[in-house]
Amino acid sequence: MKPFAYLRAATADHAIDTFTSRAGAQYLAGGTNLVDLMKLGVAAPDLLIDIRRLPFDRITDTAEGGLNIGAGVRNSDLAAHPGVRSRYPCLSQALLAGASGQLRNTATTGGNLLQRTRCPYFQDTTKPCNKRLPGSGCPAREGSHRDLAVIGHSEHCVATHPSDMAVALSALNATVHLYGPEGERAVPVTDFHRLPGDRPEQDTLIRPGELITAVELPPGPIGVRSRYRKARDRASYAFALVSVAAVLELEQGDVRYAALAFGGLAHRPWRARVAEEALHGAPATPENFARAVEAELAAASPLRDNGFKVPLARNLAVSVLTSLAPHPDSEDLS
């Protein structure tokens, strides 16, 4: 491993000032992704700025009735938070579907959003990869791409974003709060992750030196009737082949509000706007759910070995939406 320096930041400004004054600096949170990438030689920072002692470790109610989640909040603490479990259940379910208990005890909210792709070529420094080494090529297109993207990809990159949490945050319309050399700004999480286009090396809209300080969830009732489900090769400790986060509000059996996001399909959590539009005002039936999801997935263009993801995504989404819509004979159709 290449030698590197280590510094524990005392304040956010200390972290940012140090980052901007030292080439090759990188922030360290839980380290569960970054340290692995350093061991593989994919990341080679000269300086690690440890941000774990910054005061971003709280979950607080916002004045509007939502939740403010500090970027340093551990995945396990977020999953177990009573307000998250009761008001945003799909977020808790997504977190618990990810990694392992030990990893979740260390991994943070900010680090989870910024984790890198699991594309095997990205992690192997003996292979070309446009994301790791811009302009070197994308061997995954013709090579091993069973787990990779079926929608929104480009000739330059077909990687997927691995986070479960980000898929739930996308369906919940969360906002990412950032603080950096140019001050504070807020970005909807649906805009935070990029599609690859011709710059796959850039996963997100974060600027050099910026810190994620918090993620904010809007107030309920959005999210109360919400669910996350993940299809994967093993029952635990595996990344999503396809995952679905859905939020559904009904009125007299019709869809008053629907939010649907997919994981495992694209370079970013895929918010299914076409399906949402088709569902608005429609009776909450499995047939309408299927039609809406099929309209969304009509834009998919799978590669040689990952066409199975399209029917898997369809079936998973229809099953999740159906599970959120009570049977018409039951009294709970509010």
Q: Is 264 in the site for ligand FAD (CB under 6 A)?
A: no
CB of 322 to ligand FAD, least distance (A): 25
Q: Is 187 in the site for ligand FAD (CB under 6 A)?
A: no
Q: Is 289 in the site for ligand SF4 (CB under 6 A)?
A: no
Q: x/- binding map, residues 4-43, to ligand FAD, per CB under 6 A?
A: ----------------------xxxxxxxxx-x-------
Q: x/- binding map, residues 226-245, to ligand FAD, per CB under 6 A?
A: -------------x------
Q: Is 139 in the site for ligand SF4 (CB under 6 A)?
A: yes
The secondary structure of the chain, three-state, reads CCCCEEEECCCHHHHHHHHHHCCCEEEECCCCCHHHHHHHCCCCCCEEEECCCCCCCCEEECCCCCEEEECCCEHHHHHHCHHHHHHCHHHHHHHHCCCCHHHHHHCEHHHHHHCCCCCCCCCCCCCCCCCCCCCCCCHHHCCCCCCCCCCCCECCECCCCCCCHHHHHHHCCCEEEEEECCEEEEEEHHHHECCCCCCCCCCECCCCCCEEEEEEECCCCCCCCEEEEEECCCCCCCCCCEEEEEEEEEECCEEEEEEEEEECCCCCCEECHHHHHHHCCCECCHHHHHHHHHHHHCCCCCCCCCCCHHHHHHHHHHHHHHHHCCCCCCCCCC
Q: Which of residues 91-130 bind ligand SF4 (CB under 6 A)?
A: 117, 119, 121-122, 129-130
Q: Which of residues 121-180 bind ligand FAD (CB under 6 A)?
A: 162-165
- What is the distance, to the nearest Å, from the Cα of residue 147 to the centroid of all Cα atoms in its chain? 16
CB of 240 to ligand SF4, least distance (A): 16
Size of the site for ligand SF4 (CB under 6 A): 15
Q: Is 78 in the site for ligand FAD (CB under 6 A)?
A: no
What CA–CA distance (Å, rounded) separates 255 from 267?
A: 29
Judged by CB under 6 A, the stretch of 4-12, 17-25, 102-110, 129-137 that binds ligand FAD is 102-110
The site partner of 93 among ligand SF4, ligand FAD, none (C-beta below 5 to 8 Å per kind) is: none
The site partner of 112 among ligand FAD, ligand SF4, none (C-beta below 5 to 8 Å per kind) is: ligand FAD
Q: Which CB, 71 or 242, lies closer to ligand FAD?
A: 71
- Would you tell me which residues interact with ligand SF4 (CB under 6 A)? 117, 119, 121-122, 129-131, 138-140, 148, 157-159, 200
- Would you tell me which residues interact with ligand FAD (CB under 6 A)? 26-34, 36, 51, 71, 98-99, 103, 106-108, 110-112, 114-115, 162-165, 211-212, 239
